[in-house]
Amino acid sequence: MAIIEADSCSAEHVAAAIADASNGDTLVVPAGSETWTDYVQCSKSLDFVGAGIDVTTIGRYGLLFNSGTDDWSVTGFTFDNQAYGNNNIQGIRVSDKIYTGPGCFAAGSKRFRIHHNKFKNFYNPAPPTTYNYFVIRMNGYCYGVIDNNIFYDCLGEVIYYAADNGPAWTRGGGLGGYENGTMFVEDNQYSTSGLHGWMYNPIDSASGARYVFRYNSIEDAVDAPLITCCECHGLCNNDSDNADVRGTYSVEIYGNIITKHDAESGECFKVRGGRGVICNNVLLTVGAGSFGTYQIRLQEHRAEPALYGACYDCGACEPVNPRTYAPDTELYPAHDQINNLYIWGNTKDGGALSAIYVDGQIAYRPAPNDDLQYVEEGIDYFESEMGGYTPYAYPHPLRGYGGGEVGKVVMVLLS
């Protein structure tokens, strides 16, 4: 394993260093500030080490790890999107392939670590909008850890994980796993200057994704409200062009501290499908800050076509059960619907959270009664601890990767 030094942090010099490197090498990128006009792509198992946050700064585009590239890490960089206004530009993109149909499944990336970086200014300034401004985007069968990063004025769906769809649902395994395709996001900081509008989705997922979001800090600002904190999509991804897209498989959301300064209420935890746990999170308000009604919001968008205009009569869902919808030959539970979701121990300003808010109470297409509940307490979700649940090891074992002896060598090089 060699240490390869890029001549500068320009895209050309970093690409040349990648070409010179072999699997297992450490690629050192020196101090400087450069604006890249396209992704620098990597198909090798390398450790990328910058000179430090705000010391090695990459503008606009970032690194793209091609599908099937495993065992890599990125640390010591600032990725500054410069409010470029193009929502197809990420600081780090995992897999060049995006799910586009039932026959397209990306190999993804495994055993990677993204840590001790800063990502900033990922939003569109004119007109102000934050939706779909991914900062770290992962596609395909992935597992790894994203830890100890700073996300500042990253106002869109900051971390977005869309797994490999149908195959993701065949791996089995319960919660607390890792190599079944679970992404871990831990000990990161999300904040905003308050100058560029709302914050939206520090994490979101679809297509059979599994994620653990734990021990992170999220804080909005006056006039820049946090609209949604943790979200996961259900079946169809709310998109009439993607009727075959599977929902999120599971989420584990615990130990996070979420602070609201703005009075506009939002949705703190928004679950549209899958299973999991939401527990021991701390919600805090400062001044006029408010979380409003939707502190925990559960949705089944097949229940009501008017809900965000999300569902449509594509023929994929039929009312074969008096309580819910399911594909033609399937009884309860409906395809990818919320089930086995356990919620406990969450607090707001030291007290209990508001009651769980459930959407989808109006039946889609003829049903026995208009008050039909699609997501029911005691059947689909439970306000109690999940028996036998054991979280995965913390800190994540991969946090020993991309550091250690490599870090010591790099410090000598940069000193």
Alpha carbon distance 169, 180 (integer Å):
10
Is 0.85 surpassed by the pTM of this model? yes
Pairing of strands 296-298, 351-352: unpaired
Helix (H) or strand (E) holding 414: helix 405-414
CA angle, 328 as apex, 327 and 330 as ends, to 5°? 65
Find the domain containing 37 and state its range: 3-414
> How many domains is the chain built from?
1
Alpha carbon distance 374, 343 (integer Å):
18
Q: SS3 of 182, please?
A: strand
Q: Do 181 and 251 meet the contact criterion of CB atoms below 8 Å apart? A: no
Alpha carbon distance 272, 337 (integer Å):
7
The per-residue pLDDT string of the chain (415 residues; one tens digit each, 9 = 90 and over) reads: 899 999 999 999 999 999 999 999 999 999 999 999 999 999 999 999 999 999 999 999 999 999 999 999 999 999 999 888 777 789 999 986 654 444 445 678 999 999 999 999 998 776 555 566 889 999 999 999 999 999 999 988 899 999 988 888 888 778 988 889 999 999 999 999 988 888 889 999 988 999 999 999 999 999 889 989 999 988 765 444 455 678 899 999 999 999 999 998 878 999 988 999 999 999 999 999 999 888 999 887 666 544 444 454 455 554 434 344 444 444 566 778 888 999 999 999 999 998 788 875 443 333 433 334 567 888 889 999 999 999 999 999 999 854 433 333 333 333 3
β-bridge partners, 185: 146, 213
Q: SS3 of 151, please?
A: strand
Q: Do 115 and 147 meet the contact criterion of CB atoms below 8 Å apart? A: yes
CB neighbours of residue 267 within 10 Å: 22
CATH number of the domain that residue 42 is part of: 2.160.20
CB neighbours of residue 103 within 10 Å: 6
